[in-house]
């Protein structure tokens, strides 16, 4: 193994705020996007794809504000192959110290049929639009969408055109997660060998996880010569998701003997951003998820525990500390003070100011009065509560539920709606249904419940329940979360949280705009 300082550098291109946010229900608020971007910047991500500026005014403002606040990372925006998109993208990213325009077009036979362009017409369009982007920005990335299903000769042709037009990075997307690792490595290697000018640009890989091979495909592409990996935190993304940042980074760090490449990522910050993205997106990390799952460093069987006690390396190829875990789970109690809570938060990867600590401490004391012991996962759940309260139009004041075997459940809900207290009572098929119906009576809406999910944060009958609710209304999707030792209360608060987010999104979304459909439309230039 060569010295790390002499190894090839692999750039990490994070698209959590763009491709990751396109997961149904994963839409983040403006402030949440700024916060995630700052965390990505601090952990050493090389390029942050901050959004799709022409998709909406909200997207444009988020990309623009992230560009203005960036410290080290290059800020990138996505643009379709037309002048309007590219101009809008440049207006958003031009404020960054380091910027990039990322423009793309679908080149496979299936994707060429969407705009109904011939091969020659598309080739001309690629030359025109990449040239236009390069005239605005010195750093241009070009992607042939669905590259892995594009004819070989045509793929080589359009990549050569993009390079001659001024592209500095050529990204090869496996848009539908179709390829396999051996193919991924071979494709990159052959392109670098065959395309004139390939040695003058950086080749990148963008893999989806439809067949569960995104991480393997990305690392194989690097073995083939790619020097940029596009990825997201927790593998967030459309359908089965994208390559997970934490997986490729830790794979290269842990198996540097066979993958002799390095990144600029501070891996001790991985756990904190993983938890934060899970919170703001509403997509909980599965327990057995590689690197960041709750069970990734848990050992229950007797043989494993005995081996761990004798030597941690028997069953751990990474240290919890390497990704920002303290390695302990010592509980706090109702007698614990602010200093102990702050110390615990720091061990869990959360940095909080004095005012935020004061707010969290109040919620911690309330929880400690209901629970004998407050564990790490309880503290993490507390961080999710009340984050949007000061901007909420709808707030739960009180709730009373009557349920049992004798008849339909009944819920009486008191809410504050824009400063006015209102109350309603409703019956339902169970306490949660009754509570939701009472809320709908107080705040009439046409939102369809797409997801209702409950999981216990810790063990025991006094465990906090974390509830996720996903709502869809006229094409707008929003997710709400809440945690409480009372499952019905957590459900009502999560539902109200999702309604508040719907209100915000309805206000900020451009009329008729759909972030999924915009990828496949081509406005007049």
Query: pLDDT of the chain along its 525 residues, tens only?
Result: 344 454 699 999 999 999 988 776 677 888 889 999 999 999 999 999 999 999 989 899 999 999 999 999 999 999 999 999 999 999 999 999 999 999 999 999 999 999 999 999 999 999 999 999 999 999 999 999 999 999 999 999 999 999 999 999 999 999 999 999 999 999 999 999 999 999 999 999 999 999 999 999 999 999 999 999 999 999 999 899 999 999 999 999 999 999 999 999 999 999 989 988 988 887 888 888 999 987 877 634 344 334 434 445 554 778 888 888 765 555 677 778 888 888 878 777 677 888 888 888 888 888 788 766 777 777 777 776 555 555 578 999 999 999 998 889 999 999 999 889 999 999 999 999 999 999 999 999 999 998 898 877 766 667 778 888 889 888 888 888 888 889 999 999 999 989 988 887 776 554 444 444 454 445 433
The residues facing 425 across adjacent strands are: 412
Strands 11-14 and 47-51: parallel
- Is 513 a member of any domain? no
Flag whether 517 is in a domain: no
d(CA 348, CA 344): 6
Same domain for 74 and 206, yes or no, is: yes
**Same domain as 93, residue 25:** yes
355 and 340 within one domain? yes
Q: 76: closest CA among 101, 40, 45, 104?
A: 101
Please indicate, yes or no, if residue 293 is contained in any of the structural domains: no
Inside any domain, residue 435: yes
Query: How is residue 426 written in tokens?
Result: 């409703």
The Cα–Cα gap between 168 and 182 comes to 26
Structure tokens at 145: 């969408």
- Which pLDDT score is estimated for 25? 66
On whether both 128 and 230 belong to a single domain, the answer is yes
Give the distance, in angstroms, between the CA of residue 372 and the centroid of all CA atoms in the same chain. 34
Let me know: does 30 contact 391? Beta carbons within 8 Å.
no
Q: Are residues 462 and 409 in the same domain?
A: yes
Report yes or no on 523 lying in a domain.
no
Residues 9 and 125 in one domain: yes
Q: Taking a C-beta distance cutoff of 8 angstroms, is the pair 435, 443 a contact?
A: no
Whether residue 166 is found in the same domain as residue 234: yes
State whether 259 and 311 are in the same domain: no
Residue 351 is assigned to a structural domain of this protein: yes
Q: Same domain, yes or no, for 365 and 313?
A: no
Per the domain annotation, does 489 fall within a domain? yes
Strand-pair category, 228-231 with 47-51: unpaired
State the virtual CA torsion across 453, 455, 461, 463 in degrees, nearest 10. Answer: -120
Q: Which domain holds residue 445?
A: 389-508
Residue where a domain stops, chosen among 364, 383, 402: 383
pTM (2 d.p.)? 0.78
CATH number at residue 483: 3.30.160.270
State the pLDDT at residue 300.
Answer: 40
In angstroms, rounded to a whole number, what is the distance separating the alpha carbons of residues 77 and 101? 6
Alpha helices in 94-212 (DSSP H): 109-112, 119-136, 152-165, 181-194
Specify the CATH number for the domain of residue 245.
Answer: 3.20.20.70
Closest CA to 436 of 406, 465, 401, 463: 401
290, part of any domain: no
Q: How many domains does the chain have?
A: 4
Among 497, 475, 484, 482, smallest CA distance to 415 is for: 497
Which residue among 383, 415, 449 closes a domain? 383
- In this structure, the answer to whether residues 160 and 271 fall within a common structural domain is yes
Based on the domain organization, do 236 and 321 belong to the same domain?
no
Residues 339 and 271 in one domain: no
pLDDT of residue 410: 95
């Amino acid at each position: 193994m060569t010295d790390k300082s002499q190894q090839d550098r692999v750039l990490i291109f994070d698209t959590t705020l763009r491709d990751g946010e396109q997961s149904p229900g994963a839409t983040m608020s403006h402030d949440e996007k700024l916060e995630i971007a700052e965390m990505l910047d601090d952990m050493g991500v090389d390029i942050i794809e901050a959004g799709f500026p022409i998709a909406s005014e909200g997207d444009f403002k988020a990309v623009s504000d992230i560009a203005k606040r960036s410290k080290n990372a290059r800020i990138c925006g996505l643009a379709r192959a037309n002048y309007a998109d590219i101009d809008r993208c440049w207006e958003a990213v031009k404020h960054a110290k380091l910027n990039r325009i990322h423009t793309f077009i679908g080149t496979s036979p299936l994707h060429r049929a969407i705009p109904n362009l011939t091969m020659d017409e598309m080739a001309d369009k690629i030359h025109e639009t990449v040239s236009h982007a390069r005239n605005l920005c010195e750093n241009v990335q070009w992607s042939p969408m669905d590259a892995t299903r594009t004819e070989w000769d045509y793929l080589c042709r359009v990549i050569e055109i993009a390079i001659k037009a001024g592209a500095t990075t050529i990204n090869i997307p496996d848009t539908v997660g179709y390829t396999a690792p051996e193919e991924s490595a071979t494709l990159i290697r052959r392109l670098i060998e065959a395309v004139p000018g390939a040695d003058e640009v950086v080749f990148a890989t963008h893999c989806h996880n439809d067949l569960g091979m995104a991480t393997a495909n990305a690392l194989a592409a690097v073995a083939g010569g790619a020097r940029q990996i596009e990825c997201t935190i927790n593998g967030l993304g459309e359908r089965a998701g994208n390559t997970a940042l934490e997986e490729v980074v830790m794979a290269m760090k842990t198996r540097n003997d066979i993958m002799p490449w390095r990144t600029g990522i501070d891996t001790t910050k991985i756990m904190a951003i993983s938890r934060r993205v899970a919170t703001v997106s509403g997509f909980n990390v599965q327990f057995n998820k590689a690197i960041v799952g709750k069970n990734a460093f848990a050992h229950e069987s007797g043989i494993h525990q005995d081996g761990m006690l004798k030597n941690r390396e028997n069953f751990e190829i990474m240290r919890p500390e390497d990704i920002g875990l303290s390695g302990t789970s010592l509980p706090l109690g109702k007698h614990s003070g602010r200093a102990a809570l702050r110390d615990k938060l720091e061990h869990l990867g959360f940095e909080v100011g004095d005012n935020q600590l004061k707010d969290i401490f109040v919620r911690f004391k309330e929880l400690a009065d209901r629970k004998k012991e407050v564990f790490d996962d309880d503290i993490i759940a507390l961080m999710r509560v009340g984050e949007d309260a000061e901007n909420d139009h709808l707030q739960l004041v009180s709730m009373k539920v009557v349920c049992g075997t004798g008849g339909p459940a009944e819920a009486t809900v008191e809410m504050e709606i824009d400063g006015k207290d209102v109350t309603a009572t409703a019956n339902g098929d169970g306490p949660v249904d009754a509570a939701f119906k009472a809320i709908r009576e107080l705040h009439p809406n046409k939102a369809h419940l797409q997801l209702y999910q409950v999981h216990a944060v810790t063990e025991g009958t006094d465990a906090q329940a974390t509830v996720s609710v996903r709502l869809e209304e006229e094409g707008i999707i929003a997710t709400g979360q809440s945690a409480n030792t009372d499952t019905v209360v957590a459900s009502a608060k999560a539902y109200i949280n999702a309604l508040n987010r719907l209100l915000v999104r309805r206000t900020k979304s451009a009329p008729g705009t759909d972030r999924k459909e915009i990828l496949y439309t081509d406005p007049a230039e």
